[in-house]
Structure 1
Amino acid sequence: MQLALEQLGQKVGAVQHLYPLDLSLQPGAVTVLLGATQAGKTSLMRLMAGLDKPTHGRITVDGADVTGVSVRGRNVAMVYQQFINYPSLSVAENIASPLKLRGGLDRAAIAQRVKALAERLHIDPFLDRLPAELSGGQQQRVALARALAKNAPLMLLDEPLVNLDYKLREELREELTQLFATGDSTVVYATTEPAEALLLGGWTAVMDAGELLQYGPTAELFHTPKSLRVARAFSDPPMNLLEAEPAMFGVQLRAADGAAKAAGAARPPPHVPLPAALGGLLTGRLTLGVRAGALRLDQRPGDVALPGSVELAEISGSDTFVHAATSVGEVVAQLPGVHELALGAPITFHLSPDQVFVFGADGGLLLAPPRTHTRAY
């Protein structure tokens, strides 16, 4: 299916839910809608499904205008945040329901398809149970299996894992990635989590406050966000944003108000050397973006040092997230391994100039991406 949105927008009363946007989905691929709550992801998916009508613009499928076609007239499968199953039907009957409605398959073929999907989603021991007898995670797997059974050319998943516990989310993400890779559907998957977008791969559309900010291959957007707004949306923990101004052979970081005293750092803000080719682009007030994973404790040749003091150290899985006050403001570092750091203890982060983003003052557009990449979560 080739789904295209042309100047599609939605306004409810005086509130603009979606600003006019153009988006042509990659057929047979996964497109992730990435953005914070109220970014417009659900509004956009409802328009794609035919549940709502746009205020302006149109939707085409394989070149045919389907803007006014209701959800009943479209071959679409959708899974919501809240798992929705038929409570009076068994798990097997829930999964089989779209197959029976479509027709063309005998009872044996339907049973075989149901069993295969249940096995892939690890719910085959529960085929005879009612949804109410299952856990939340198992019920969501049933809803996913029913959507997959429909084998619709367009599958819409609106944050389907958000209400599940962490371990179950991790398991289902991996399973869904494999299922999408082997299917023929064009998949649209909404999430607030950048790590989920990277895991699913494919293409990503970054949204914010009803606007489509950027669309392209997921890895490309992560490594080359075209603006500060995209960089903020595609960073978890948030990207460190440091004020700077042009200087000889690079940029000079600017001291943050009151930060030097809080950090106990006597030295002036550091100079960050950058390629000479950027000289003509670096004018006015600049912003340097530094991902949390780019800050290290070990020093390497050519590094820039950021001394400061520890404000918070959080151990999460195999990483430690360290919040520190420095002369250029508070920064967050994602350090591999477990580090026990006392509050207020002095600390010095090291950063390679090759791993900074340079954003301009005019709309925060990206002037230069990093020359080397940090690990993607």
Structure 2
Amino acid sequence: MSRVRLSNVSKVYGDDVLAVKEVDLTVRDGEFLVLVGPSGCGKSTTLRMIAGLETITQGEIEIGETVVNDVRPQDRNIAMVFQNYALYPHMTVRENMSFGLRLSKQFGDDEISGRVEDAANLLEIPELLDQYPKQLSGGQQQRVALGRSIVRDPDVFLMDEPLSNLDAKLRTQMRTELQRIQDDLGVTTIYVTHDQTEAMTMGDRIAILNDGELQQVAEPEVCYDQPNNKFVAGFIGSPSMNFFDVEVTPAGDSVQVAGDGIETTIPATMEAGDYTLGIRPEDLSIASDEERFQAIVDVVEPMGSDNFLYLHPPDGDQEIIARVGSDYHPESGEKIALDFAANDVHFFDETGERIMLSDESDPMKAP
């Protein structure tokens, strides 16, 4: 069993630099979990603590049924893939992939050769085994780095932004390949990235970190549709969610919402007060009724299948983004009317927590 469990794990550098704060997280056996968040949020530090490359200030880490706090990295049976491929230039692909096995002195030549060839076939690079790293493209070098980890037959794969050195097209291709390889191997995988597109497309679940604290752990679509808080709502989704400061007044089974140019009634039960209203760009539509929400066009950004409209309210400078069809091309400076459906909005209280408006299920706050 290769479940990974973090219990109340913290990391403090020096006397007061808190990099990771009381993280509780369970990665299921065979799961592909993505740790995602902005730069400096603690995701790589968390991965390095699992690997044993960073000491733990507080808490416990289990791999399988074993607490590994005091277990050396080489004894944890994990394989780590870094952003830097770190291939030996004077060795062939075959020699690079087999080097760790030969160094361990635990395997015979025949078994090492069989493992390397099996990994090369899985990665679709058997024809590269006798070439040198300088003869390979970036994508091929990445496959070799993966192969070097696969031959070890680890309990857990740890990947720290392994695709960040590749160009956009190759990154997309390698995302698909990594998913296929992980699915074929069934090995528990923890993948670190700052790229929310990678997180949304690759992970069985994603764990979102900010300032060292775990914000939400759930399937990608749950984090998107039911974010725990304003940070998750703004971080997940591209373009980011629009936020408006509004005042809410109860009116029977509905609430009246007013602020930042918005005046509308939404079916909901909430206490009166000041809130943040969130609307995703794709949930803003063009309205024919001029009495609806007004905005002035700053920039139209064609994206092929869609156009992104960057706007601001007539009496303010807040940026608003709307994602509309590619056939809609308003002019810069044009005033347009926007609309949105009541069930597409999110409300956040003064602490940033999302207000649940209906009988929706809990958005999996607990891992």
Give the TM interval when normalised to the shorter protein.
0.7 to 0.9
* Alignment correspondent of 2:352: 364
Q: Quick check: 1:337 aligned with 2:326? A: yes
1:159 deviates by 1.0
Aligned equivalents of 1:164, 1:109: Cα separation in 2: 32
* Alignment correspondent of 1:254: 259
* Alignment correspondent of 1:127: 129
* Alignment correspondent of 2:364: none
* Alignment correspondent of 1:354: 343
> Within 5 Å, which residues of 2 pair with 1:254-273?
254-255=259-260, 269-273=261-265
The answer (yes or no) to whether the contact 1:99–1:150 under 8 Å persists in 2 is yes
The answer (yes or no) to whether the contact 1:304–1:350 under 8 Å persists in 2 is no
Q: Secondary structure at the match of 1:93?
A: helix
Unmatched runs of 5 consecutive residues or more in structure 1? 256-268, 373-377
* Alignment correspondent of 2:365: none
Q: 2:247 aligns with which of 239, 242, 245?
A: 245
CA deviation vs aligned residue, 1:148-184 (integer Å, no higher than 9, x gap): 2322111111111112111001000111112222222
* Alignment correspondent of 2:28: 26
Q: 2:219 aligns with which of 217, 220, 237?
A: 217
1:330 deviates by 2.0
Q: 1:112 to 1:294 in 2, by over 3 A?
A: farther
CA deviation vs aligned residue, 1:93-115 (integer Å, no higher than 9, x gap): 22233454567766566445434
CA deviation vs aligned residue, 1:278-301 (integer Å, no higher than 9, x gap): 32x33321111111221223669x
The answer (yes or no) to whether the contact 2:139–2:174 under 8 Å persists in 1 is no
* TM-score when normalising by structure 2: 0.87
Q: 1:209 to 1:10 in 2, by over 3 A?
A: same
Aligned equivalents of 1:339, 1:164: Cα separation in 2: 34
Q: Secondary structure at the match of 2:240?
A: coil
* Alignment correspondent of 2:63: 61
Q: 2:80 aligns with which of 78, 81, 84?
A: 78
1:369 deviates by 6.3
Aligned equivalents of 1:312, 1:216: Cα separation in 2: 35
Aligned equivalents of 1:92, 1:16: Cα separation in 2: 42
CA deviation vs aligned residue, 1:124-163 (integer Å, no higher than 9, x gap): 3322211122222321221122222322111111111112
1:51 deviates by 0.6
Q: 1:55 to 1:37 in 2, by over 3 A?
A: same
1:340 deviates by 4.2
Unmatched runs of 5 consecutive residues or more in structure 2? 361-367
* Alignment correspondent of 1:180: 182
Q: 1:138 aligns with which of 137, 140, 144?
A: 140
Q: Secondary structure at the match of 2:44?
A: helix
Letter in 1 for 2:275: L
Aligned equivalents of 1:134, 1:338: Cα separation in 2: 43
Q: 1:66 to 1:335 in 2, by over 3 A?
A: same
Q: Secondary structure at the match of 2:285?
A: coil
Q: Secondary structure at the match of 2:171?
A: helix
- Greater displacement, 347-356 / 100-109: 100-109
1:10 deviates by 0.7
Aligned equivalents of 2:165, 2:357: Cα separation in 1: 35
CA deviation vs aligned residue, 1:57-87 (integer Å, no higher than 9, x gap): 1212233221011211211111111222122
Aligned equivalents of 1:242, 1:127: Cα separation in 2: 56
The answer (yes or no) to whether the contact 1:91–1:126 under 8 Å persists in 2 is yes
Aligned equivalents of 1:166, 1:270: Cα separation in 2: 38
* Alignment correspondent of 2:95: 93
Q: Percent identity?
A: 30
Q: 1:324 to 1:96 in 2, by over 3 A?
A: same
Q: Secondary structure at the match of 1:51?
A: coil
1:55 deviates by 1.1
Matched residues, number: 353
Q: Quick check: 1:274 aligned with 2:271? A: no
* Alignment correspondent of 2:157: 155
Aligned equivalents of 2:122, 2:309: Cα separation in 1: 39
Q: 1:342 to 1:370 in 2, by over 3 A?
A: farther
Q: 1:240 to 1:66 in 2, by over 3 A?
A: same
1:336 deviates by 4.2
Q: 1:56 to 1:200 in 2, by over 3 A?
A: same
* TM-score when normalising by structure 1: 0.85
* Alignment correspondent of 1:314: 301
